[in-house]
Structure formats: C-alpha cells, structure tokens
Amino acid sequence: MDRRAMWAIAIKDIKAIRSSVQVWLPMILVPIVMCALIPGGMIYGVRRFGIEGMGNMGNMDSLAKLIDSLPPGSLRDTITSFDSPEKQVLYFVLNHLFVSFFLIIPLMLSSVITANSFAVEKERGTLETLLFSPVEIRTLFAGKVLSAFIPGMAVTFLCGLVYGIVVNVLAYPLFEELIFPTLNWAVLLLWTIPAVILFAIFINVIISAKVKGFQEAYQLSGLLVLPVLALVLGQALGALVLDTQWLLWGGAMVLALAMGMLGFISRHFDRNRLFESQVS
Amino acid sequence: MAPSPIIRLSKVSKSFKDVQAIKDLSFTVSKGEIVGLLGPNGAGKTTVVRLINGVIAADAGTVEIFGQSPLAESNSIRSRTGVLTESAGLYGHMTAKENLAFFARIYGVQDYPSRIDMLLQEFGLAEYKDRKAETFSTGMRKRLGIAKALIHRPDVLFLDEPTTGLDPEASRDLLGYIKELNARDGVTIVLATHLLRQVQELCHRFLFLHRGQLIESGTLRQLEDKYLKSFQVKVESDLKVEGPSYRGFPLQQVEPGVLIFTVETKSQVPELLRQILSEASVYSAEILGRDLETLYFNVRGNFRG
C-alpha cells in the first residue's frame, strides 16, 4: 500500500470537513449539547432543585424499581452505596445511561464524514480523476477510512474530556469525589467506540457506493442510529445493563461485523466496478 | 519508417447495459502525435479514453498502451498517462497549489514543490496559487486541470473536451499550451472534442467516431484528397469577366471584385491564378470548403449514404 498517497487522501478529506457545513456543524453541536449542556444542565438542576424539582426524574418509585431491577454487581452496589437519591440518580444517569448516548455521537459523525467524502467526490467529478490515477483502490479506501476514523476518534476523546470535566467539576460538590471515568467508560472509549466507528464507516462506504448523492447516503446511514437508540431505550427501561462485559463483547461483535464488511468491500469494489457504478 | 504505435486498439467493443458505446473499434496512435478524437456527444470519445486508461474493461477486442494491457498493468500505465476530464476534476475547497500538491503525492512525484511552481508559472496561475479552485473561472480551472494532468510528466496526455465552456481567447491560449507541450516535450496527445474548428490546426491526425464506430481517419490532407471532389477558389481581383466561365473554369461572381472559381484538382489552382495575373491583379485567393468541419460533414454524409 502506498502510505504517502493514503495519507494524502486522508488529510485532504479531513481538511474538506471544514468546507462542508453539513459535516462540521454536527461535529461541533452534537458534542456540545450531548457532552456538556445536557449533563451539565442535569447536574445543575439536581443540585439546585433536588430530585423532586426535576419532574419525571423525581419519580422515586420508578427509579427505585429501575435500580432494583439492575442485576447484582458493581453498578448496583455502587449506586445503592450512595446515601442520597440525588447521588443515586445522577450516578445512574451519568455513568450508565450516558454510555449508550456516547455511542450515537461517533456513529453519527463517522457516517456523515464517510457519506460526504465518497458522495461529494462522485458529485463533483473528482472520484473519476482519482480513479484515473495510479492509486490502488485499497489505498483509496484506506485513506477514506482514516479520514473518517481520525476525526471520529478525535471527537469521541474530546467529548470524553469535556464530559469528564463537566461531570467532575459540577458533581464534585455533591459527591465529594471524582465519579468519571469508570472502567466502563475506558472500555467504551478505547474499544467499543473504535469498533462502532469502523462499522459505521464500512457500512457507509457500501451505502455511498450504491446511492447517487450525499443526501441519500446520509439519510440511509441515519438508520444506523436506530439500534443504538434501542440500546438507550433498553437501558432507560432497565432491560439492559451495558456493563464492562457487555461493552467488551459488543465491541468484539461489531468489530467482527466490520471486518466482514471490509471483506465484502475488498471483494466487490475493484476499479472497473467502482468506475462503472460511480462515474456516469 | 513510421514510429511504432504507443496506443493500439483492435476490434474493441464495449456496452453499458443495453447501449453499445463502442463497436469493433480499431486504431493506433504513434509516439509524439496529436490525435483528434472527433464526434458528436455520445459518439464514444470519453469511453475510448477510459478504456485506454484501464478504468473500464472492454467486452471484446484488445487495448494496448505502451505495449501492455491497461487492465493487467494498470497502475504502471496510469503513472505514465495524464487525463484531463471534462469537469477538470479539481477540489474546489483547495487552493491551486494544494490541488497540485495533492496529485503530486498521489502520483508519487519527488521534489514536487519546484514542479508545482514551474507548472503554475507555465499556465499563468502563479499569482493565483493561493486562491481556492472554486473561485476560478472555467478557463483557469481547465488550465489548472492540465497542470494537474502534467504533474507527473506523463508520456501520453488525454484531454476530454478541453475547450468546452471557454471563451475564444481562453480556448486559443489553451490550445497554444497543448501545441507547445507537444513540440517541446514530445508528449503524445489524444484530444477528444466535438469543437472541430478549434483543433483543425492543432491535430496531426483525426479519428472520426460515430455511435462508437470509427468511420474515418487521416490527416487533414488525406481527408481533403479523399472527400473533396472539386475545389472552389475565392479570388479577390479586378479581373473583368463576362459569362459563366473563365478559360474553362466555371465561375460565380458573388459581389463586385470577388469571384469564385471551381477547379477539379488543387494542382489547377496555380494555373488559374497565373492566367488571372497575366491580365489583372489578384488581391487575395482562398480555397473554400477545405476546413475540418466541412470535411467532417462530408465524412458523416458519406457514412450515412
């Protein structure tokens, strides 16, 4: 593989993110909203108004049921070890429910970046020029994958950092200890999310190669968020606990699926097929 | 001895779904030639460029460039060819310099900063090097597109409709660059276009495509000899003539002082002019109907017939 060409493609595509508002706006807004405003507002609200003042969250019966429904283990033990309902709720929401929220961010961003990088090349006629060059198809794909993987991971880590600062700074007066990160977060950020990003990129490569433009690619890739929303719902209803084991196994499964798709891509996308399907 | 062909197509056919784009196409291009691939939209010109570069595969027949199959030796061949696509294939969000630097890395060009400076200078873009390509006029984009196609010093340059969308001045400049490139560096050039007037003086040889078939080929002189059965000579002169002919040459007087004579062969033209000069002055003389466009319609008419 020609590493020089691969990095040239990756860097070019990363720079292109700046010129597309459809891409960079969600990259900024989603992390700010999901990693700073929502958790920050929640902690502030609980500290200021107490559980009773927080509407539905103050429904202690359902919270107690939810915590009771957690399987025996470290999460349940940790939560029940807190002496106040405020701490129990916040710990449960911040270190449990937000884990699945965190999966949505990289999934969405890497989908947008990949859809943008392939479909825009196609729309603007630059893919044709790239296919006329001596760059190997696997080098082209590797460059494209890197161009979505690197920003996806960078935003994920940035989100983790911002989230950690917001949570620890705002929740410290209540807990009098740092509650972030836990082992779950480490596994999520270093194992599960990279696997999810790769999965999202590969599936978007396939989608982008089949559709005509960015909008279509982006709309189809939006369907990817549905399984993650199911996870969020499952967690919120207490039907599912994304503990460390789950995150490890889930990451492994998603990675295996991603590798399967990589195999599909390498078998089905040679230069001639790509050219005939992508260039009119 | 004629130089050996650098490109050779033999009985090549290509279909897209139910549409036959190329049918039984055979031709060669020699090193150092500028060959015009001519035909209306949909004639198959772009498909030929794509087949030669190995980005699409022929259904039948053989395609060779540099003596190799573009499908088998695709990357080594593509590193020796440059292609200007109709859209120029540039990244609008990148500056002229960044575009060239990107393609230099893709083509593995060593010491590309000096090559970029040289090309920007040569194509009159040095002062715009830090401007984004999306702000360029069509002419500037085409020039940058050719600079991009030349970044790796290709042996063969393919230009697909290089002057489409350009004003006459920009077209003239661009064709001037192409001619100079061929004369100075010996780059073989295959130029696909439907704008015949523009390439008449540029190309050494022409290939006429119609619905994916080669219907004629040759130099301007060869085509002239084959398709012009008589010549009309427009003469501006003070010759006084009465009647429909002059010394056996049929004539028309289109306006006072302008006469159009019909001769059967070009070799009769000097004789006609000598005779006129012996009794009057000649201010200008021009053979009509020998331009590429007229020849093209003759070829098309003949093919249909």
**Domain check: are B150 and B267 in the same one?**
no
Total number of domains constituting chain B = 2
Report the residue from B55, B92, B102 with minimal CB separation from A8.
Answer: B102
Instruction: Write down the ipTM of this complex.
Output: 0.83
- Specify whether B45 is located in the same domain as B87: yes
- Same domain (yes/no): B98, B69: yes
Write down the pLDDT at residue A78: 82
In a domain, B24, yes or no: yes
In a domain, B272, yes or no: yes
Which tens digits make up the pLDDT trace of A26-78?
Answer: 788 888 888 899 999 989 988 888 777 666 555 555 666 777 777 777 777 88
| Residue B293 domain-assigned (yes or no) | no
Q: Which one of B224, B248, B270 terminates a domain?
A: B224
One domain, residues B246 and B144: no
Q: Which residues does chain A have within 8 Å of residue B87's beta carbon, measured at their own beta carbons?
A: 124-125, 128
CB contact under 8 A, A18 and B107: no
Name the closest residue on chain A to residue B105, using Cα atoms. A5
Residues B61 and B115 placed together within one structural domain of the fold: yes
Whether B217 and B248 map to the same domain: the answer is no
Average pLDDT over residues A11-20: 86
Same domain flag for B207 and B133: yes
B149 lies in some domain: yes
B231 vs B237, higher pLDDT: B237
Q: What is the pLDDT of residue B83?
A: 93
Contact status of B76 with chain A (Cβ, < 8 Å):
yes
Residues B279, B203 share a domain: no
Are B78 and A132 in contact (CB < 8 Å)?
Answer: yes
Mean pLDDT, residues B212-233 taken together: 86
Q: What is the mean pLDDT of residues A85-113?
A: 84
Strand order in the sheet with B213-218: B81-84, B156-160, B188-193, B34-38, B205-210, B213-218
- Candidate from A145-154, A226-235, B221-230 with smallest mean pLDDT: A226-235
Q: What is the mean pLDDT of residues B167-173?
A: 83
Residue B94 and residue B101: Cα distance in Å, rounded?
10
| Domain presence at residue B302 | no
Chain A residues in contact with B71 by the CB 8 A cut-off are 272
Domain limits for position B181? 5-224
What is the per-residue pLDDT for B91?
92
B206 is a domain residue: yes
Q: Are residues A276 and B94, on separate chains, in Cβ contact within 8 Å? A: no
pLDDT above 70: percentage of residues in chain A: 92
Helix H or strand E segment including A23: helix A21-31
Reported confidence tier of residue B196, pLDDT bands at 50, 70, 90: confident
Q: Is residue B304 part of a domain?
A: no
More confident residue, B28 or A239: B28
Q: What CATH number does the domain containing B63 carry? A: 3.40.50.300
Q: Is A2 on the interface with B (CB under 8 A)?
A: yes
- A188 and B CB contact within 8 Å: no
Question: A8 or A230: which carries more pLDDT confidence?
Answer: A8
Question: Where among B184, B200, B224 does a domain terminate?
Answer: B224
Q: Are residues B55 and B129 in the same domain?
A: yes
State the average pLDDT over residues A247-273.
87
Q: What is the pLDDT of residue B305?
A: 45
Could you tell me if B155 and B129 lie in one domain? yes
- Chosen domain end from B200, B224, B248: B224
The pLDDT mean for chain B works out to 89
Tell me the chain B residues in contact with residue A7 when contact means C-beta distances shorter than 8 Å.
105
Same domain, B145 and B58: yes
Query: A125 vs B89: CB contact, 8 Å cut-off?
Result: yes
**Interchain proximity B78–A133, CB inside 8 Å:** yes
Do B71 and B161 belong together in one domain?
yes
Please state the domain count of chain A.
1
B40 has a pLDDT exceeding 60: yes
For residue A139, which of A271, A277, A275 has the smallest C-alpha distance?
A271
CA distance B53 to chain A (A): 7
* B111 part of a folded domain: yes
| Contact (CB<8Å) B106/A130 | yes
What average pLDDT score do residues B127-148 get? 92
How far, in Å, CA of A47 to CA of A172, rounded?
Answer: 11
The predicted structure's pLDDT at residue A55: 62
Q: Which residues pair with B236 in a beta bridge?
A: B258, B284
pTM: 0.82
pLDDT tens for A201-256 read: 998 888 887 777 777 777 777 777 777 777 777 777 666 667 788 889 989 999 99
pLDDT, residue B242, reads: 82
Q: Mark yes or no for CB contact A124/B92 under 8 Å.
A: yes
Q: Which of B53, B91, B102 sits opposite A132 (nearest CB)?
A: B53
The answer, yes or no, to whether residue B45 has pLDDT greater than 50, is: yes
Q: Are A242 and A99 in contact (CB under 8 A)?
A: yes
B68 touching chain A per CB within 8 A: no
Q: How many CA atoms lie within 13 A of B45 on its CB side?
A: 27
Expressed as residue numbers, the domain containing A258 is 3-278
